[in-house]
Amino acid sequence: MDGAAFVALVTEEDLDRLLDSDSHAVAESALSGRPARREISFRMRRSDGALIEVESLSELVADADGRPLSMISTVRDITEAADAKRALKEKERHLDAAQTVAQFGSFRLAIATGTVEWSKELYELMGRDPEAGPALLPELLPETAEREQLETKLQFLYEPHEPHSKQLATVDFRRHADGAYRNVRAAMEMSYDYRGQADILTGVIRDVTDEIRREADLRAAFLDDGMTDILSKPLARSALEAMLAGLPAPQRDPAQSVLDLDHLADLRAAVGPTFGPLLERFETETDALLIWLEGEPPIDEIRARVHKVAGSAAAFGATRFRAELVAIENAAQDGIRGDTSRIGSLWQDTRAALSCPPDFER
């Protein structure tokens, strides 16, 4: 195949770029008196009509007047590699867009070399000039209890663990940017090498300011209308003991029924007309918890929130629902993300039973 036949196979979109690269190499060789190297990738049609992408490495020689004398080229099919590279860039583009929308950024630290990488969204989130380059998280915090907590979590991650294992840690802290404080949450994962030594630390940092504000508003709503002692404290022991003194305890066998109807009837008699509003609060509280659990929140936060709703479930005699919540709470206490696959359907059954138990009107 001569040069003209080869050029005829190059796509129209890439042909001018290929010829321009040849012209530049010829001019360079004419000026230097030495062979000029040229490396370029372009698309072309094979003899069977298939479109491929190739990489060409050439050496061109020209005389002093700029006339081409010779060219030696190697051409390699890079179609699969190029497609994979484009797919990776597309994924990175989608990740960047997702990070921007979700208000989070990511980082990566290679322990052996100390090389730190930040996503561009993390610079914006942390209020750091990209010109300053990435930094280790403790360097960005003043000497406060938050920094001490962060360093404690990192120290745990840096310690040796099982070879080829991973360890997770989550920590909340505040950062100051644009003249205001924002609450952020860092979820970190350390990977360990074949010796069990810390190898790669990756993490995601998310702005949770609005989330914390919404939770505060929700708690404030629970405190309205005299709710301070009912659904705003874990198990609400003092209030329940005051109202339910002498009442029988809820059934302890969660397999017997969705509700302990005797306990529910006694509770209604004890609290009178406030029962309906209290039940609505319990439903709102539980709905908020289930939505929160769907987002796979940090394990160290699950225990407290689930414990609170489990106490409310006990107050209403929701024995099976309470047992499921207690199982999730106990798993979180052991550092394990409990099974939440049944909690949604069980809550639907419990809610339906609470809405219309026998001989009961809300």
pTM exceeds cut of 0.75: no
Q: Would you say residue 360 lies in a domain?
A: no
Q: Would you say residue 136 lies in a domain?
A: yes
Q: Would you say residue 38 lies in a domain?
A: yes
pLDDT tens track for 147-173: 888 899 999 999 999 998 999 888 888
Statement to judge: residues 189 and 259 lie in one domain: no
Structure tokens at 109: 């630290």
Distances in Å between the alpha carbon of 212 and those of 57, 172, 183, 303? 57, 11, 8, 17
Statement to judge: residues 239 and 271 lie in one domain: yes
Statement to judge: residues 199 and 317 lie in one domain: no
Q: Would you say residue 82 lies in a domain?
A: no
Residue after which a domain boundary falls, among 161, 191, 207: 207
Over residues 4-26, the mean pLDDT reads 86
- Work out the end-to-end distance of the chain between its first and last CA atoms, rounded to an integer number of angstroms: 89
Residue after which a domain boundary falls, among 142, 173, 207: 207
Q: Would you say residue 44 lies in a domain?
A: yes
Instruction: Enumerate the β-bridge partners of residue 182.
Output: 175
Residue 253 pLDDT greater than 70, yes or no: no
| Total domains present in the chain | 3
Statement to judge: residues 218 and 198 lie in one domain: no
Q: Determine contact, residues 106/202, Cβ cutoff 8 Å.
A: yes
Q: Determine contact, residues 179/150, Cβ cutoff 8 Å.
A: no
Q: How far apart are CA 71 and CA 27, in angstroms?
A: 13
Q: How far apart are CA 153 and CA 266, in angstroms?
A: 47
Domain residues for the domain of 275 are: 212-355
Structure tokens at 164: 């080829």
Structure tokens at 20: 């321009």
E strands, 208-314, are: none
Residue 183: per-residue pLDDT = 85
Q: Would you say residue 175 lies in a domain?
A: yes
Instruction: Go through 44-58 and write b for each residue having 16 or more CB atoms within 10 A of its CB, e for each that does not.
Output: beeeeeeeebbebeb
Q: Quick one: residue 261, left, alpha or beta (phi over 0 = left, psi -120 to 50 = alpha)?
A: alpha
Statement to judge: residues 194 and 244 lie in one domain: no
Statement to judge: residues 327 and 223 lie in one domain: yes
pLDDT tens track for 186-225: 888 999 999 999 999 998 888 888 777 777 666 666 555 4
Q: Residue 31, Cβ neighbours under 10 Å: how many?
A: 12
Q: How far apart are CA 45 and CA 48, in angstroms?
A: 8
Q: Would you say residue 111 lies in a domain?
A: yes
Residue 350: per-residue pLDDT = 87
